[in-house]
């Protein structure tokens, strides 16, 4: 019986030692990449309340109060041409001076990051490589371009009117 226990113990020990192997990592040459949903094909137009609310939030980084939204909507309704009304609203917002935006110096220090952040802020998507290259080149070659001008271009674009 004693020999049997020793044999069983020896067999268990051998199985335990033989069964333990270092885990092997098998790679297949697949590279990790970030995949983003293409949100550039927007089809639903924002109504006036959505446009005002989203524009205010994008510029001030805080939600608009219901009272302010109501007053702003009434002003926009009183102006016949909605494109002119949108531009006037945007101009008014920029004249308040409390918009949350980077400085022109900060924009020029890292143009690529500025372009990416602006696309994410206004269009809720990442720019394509062509869009990124165009804006980088445009900002770098035109010293008169300011953050306010870029934000105005994004806020008055056709894509910004849709979600």
Beta-sheet strands, E only, within 46-115: none
Q: Is the dihedral of CA 105, 109, 115, 121 positive or negative?
A: negative
Residue pair 90/153 in contact by the 8 Å Cβ criterion: no
Residue pair 140/107 in contact by the 8 Å Cβ criterion: no
pLDDT at position 103, please? 92
Angle at 145 between CA 139 and CA 147, to 5 degrees: 95
Q: What is the mean pLDDT of each run of 10 residues along the chain (163 residues)?
A: 70 67 73 66 81 91 92 84 82 86 93 95 91 94 93 90 82
Nearest to 161 by CA among 127, 122, 126: 122
d(CA 39, CA 127): 10
Residue 7 CB partners (closer than 8 Å, separation 6+): none
Residue pair 159/42 in contact by the 8 Å Cβ criterion: yes
pLDDT at position 41, please? 67
SS3 129: helix
Nearest to 115 by CA among 138, 91, 87: 138
């Amino acid at each position: 019986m004693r020999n049997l226990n020793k044999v069983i113990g020896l067999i268990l020990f051998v199985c335990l030692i033989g069964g333990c192997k270092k885990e092997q990592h098998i790679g297949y040459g697949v590279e990790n990449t970030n995949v983003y949903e293409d949100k550039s094909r927007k089809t639903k137009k924002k109504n006036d309340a959505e446009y005002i609310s989203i524009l205010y939030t994008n510029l001030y980084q805080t939600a608009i109060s219901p009272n302010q939204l109501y007053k702003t909507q009434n002003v926009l309704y009183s102006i016949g041409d909605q494109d002119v009304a949108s531009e006037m609203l945007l101009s008014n917002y920029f004249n308040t001076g409390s918009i949350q935006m980077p400085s022109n110096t900060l924009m020029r220090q890292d143009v690529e990051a500025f372009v990416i952040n602006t696309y994410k802020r206004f269009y809720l998507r990442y720019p394509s490589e062509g869009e990124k290259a165009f804006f980088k080149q445009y900002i770098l070659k035109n010293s008169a371009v300011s953050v306010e001008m870029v934000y105005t271009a994004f806020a008055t674009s056709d894509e910004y009117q849709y979600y």
